[in-house]
Amino acid sequence: MSFIRHKLINKTKYAYEITAYWDKELKKFRQKSKYLGKVDEKGNISNKKANKQEKLQLDFGNGYLLQQFISNLETSKVFSGSLKFIANDLIPLISYCLCNKSAMYNANTWFEGNILSLLFKNANLSSQNISRIFKKLGNEKLQRDFFWEYLGTVHNIENGIIIDATSLPSQCNTDFNAWGRNDGSIDKQMRMLCVVDQVSKMPLYYRYLPGNILDVSTLEHTIKELTLFGVKNKFVLIDAGYFSEANILDLYEKQIDFLTRLPAGRLIYKDIISNHINDIENIQYATRCNERAVFVKEVAVDLFGKQGFAYVVLDPTRKAKELQQKMLDYVNGDSLSEEVNIATCGIMILISSISMNPKSVINDYYLRQSVEQVFGFYKDDLGLLPLRKHSDETISGYLLLQFIALVVFIQFRNKIKEKYTVEQALNITRNLKCKIFEDGEILVAEPTKKQKEIFELFNYTVPKICGI
């Protein structure tokens, strides 16, 4: 039984909680007291000087920074829309993907030691629940709703798009896992096709396909899907793997201009080499490409009955290397034929539906490296590989999670790329700790100079105290 007792000390009244208990050794009732605080004139108790008991310490900086950053993104609208019902689990899971390239079954261990476990109290990152999250994300209707919302926040209808695909070595037991070529070998794999905004370099959309599907057969369907999502483009940048009569004519019919590389095996390639490279090294065709000087010559061509333009590009540095290698192969007897064609050394031919400035056409084409960079982020920074999920639904959900994490990663990187890598920034801020007290108050440690600098890059201030 407890009651409150007041004591007057130096004209100040203090309150104590008195609790009676049975002392087994003395075999009699005794009392223990607990200080409650000062008592004011109205009889209210103030406990400002009471000691607060520390409960635990957590990683603070990286989780708090990501929570603030994600909530302020324009694309965060999807977390209050199509993803609202799993946002409480999804935001901490995305944060884990950005902070760690470890397997998903380690997510809960990381989560329990991070401030996000208190900011998202009801989140569950257990292995079983992550599997359920993947199944929910794999729902076809949810994905359609997501892309409708997401594309409305990132793509300007006036911008062009870049399309490319990559192989994903896979250990999944699914119909999408098929034998296909990858870096000169044949592996079990899936294909991931990615669409990137030409101006912002932001990923817009992705598709995953069986590993034995050729790129050339995917372009028309991809354009149709984008159109259904409201993405109407005036220009598309594609690699040589998408060049075919059907694809080129389809782009003309849809009035979508394009730029692509012409495969060397095409008759039009051989015709251009035969008739238009004799004077390619004329100084009038010289132009600058980044730090190199190259020759670029524009030639009007017939593209399956349509007006097109070819750009013959000769890189003198590349020509010297390729010529040297072909000569060595010939004199060493490694060449398969005595008719060694040295005319194409250093040559690349680009094809467009419109006349472009020869001085900028190469730089425009190399914008497609933006997609290769996106694939690099997927594989190297977010730990996309290897794929180990074992149903079409969980694979689909896992890839959507990785896509959302990629969107956050790229925008985070754009904020700090002049100073730090994403990995550096999150590792440095991870070392900013906090103490949690029994009343829910959070006391944040003093940030270092680098930690302050990283927060300032986002225009955030490191809080000293915050509550739960």
CATH number at residue 305: 3.90.350.10
Same domain for 317 and 276: yes
User: What are the CA-CA distances from residue 224 to residues 150, 176, 220, 268 (Å)?
Assistant: 18, 21, 6, 28
Task: Report the pLDDT averaged over residues 261-268.
Answer: 92
Write the pLDDT tens digit of every residue in 372-425.
888 788 777 777 655 565 677 888 898 899 999 999 999 999 999 888 999 999
Instruction: Flag whether pLDDT at 55 surpasses 90.
Output: no
CA distance 347 to 318: 8
Residue 398 belongs to some domain of the structure: no
Write down the pLDDT at residue 95.
96
The domain boundary residue, chosen from 373, 388, 403: 388
**Amino acid identity for residue 182 in this structure:** N
DSSP 344-396: TTTEEEEEESS---TTTHHHHHGGGHHHHHHHHIIIIIS--PSB---SHHHHH
Show the domain range for 17.
2-51
Write the pLDDT tens digit of every residue in 89-141.
999 999 999 999 888 889 999 999 999 999 999 999 999 999 999 999 999 99
Same domain for 74 and 11: no
Among residues 301, 295, 276, 282, the alpha carbon closest in space to that of 355 is found at 301
CB atoms inside a 10 Å sphere around CB 387: 22
Task: Report the pLDDT averaged over residues 263-276.
Answer: 91
Alpha helices (H) in 52-183, listed in sequence order? 61-72, 87-99, 107-112, 116-119, 127-137, 140-154
Query: Whole-model pTM?
Result: 0.79
Write down the pLDDT at residue 310.
95
CA distance 228 to 66: 33
Write the pLDDT tens digit of every residue in 205-248.
999 888 778 888 999 999 999 888 888 778 999 999 999 999 99
Write the pLDDT tens digit of every residue in 327-380.
887 788 766 555 557 788 899 999 999 999 888 898 888 888 888 888 788 777
Write down the pLDDT at residue 404.
93
Residue 261 belongs to some domain of the structure: yes
In the predicted model, what is the mean pLDDT of the chain?
85
Residue 178 belongs to some domain of the structure: yes
Same domain for 457 and 355: no
Write down the pLDDT at residue 244.
94
> How many domains does the chain contain in total?
3
Q: Which residue has the higher pLDDT, 255 or 333?
A: 255
Same domain for 41 and 69: no
Write down the pLDDT at residue 49.
47
CA distance 448 to 314: 52
CA distance 369 to 194: 12
Task: Report the pLDDT averaged over residues 30-52.
Answer: 71
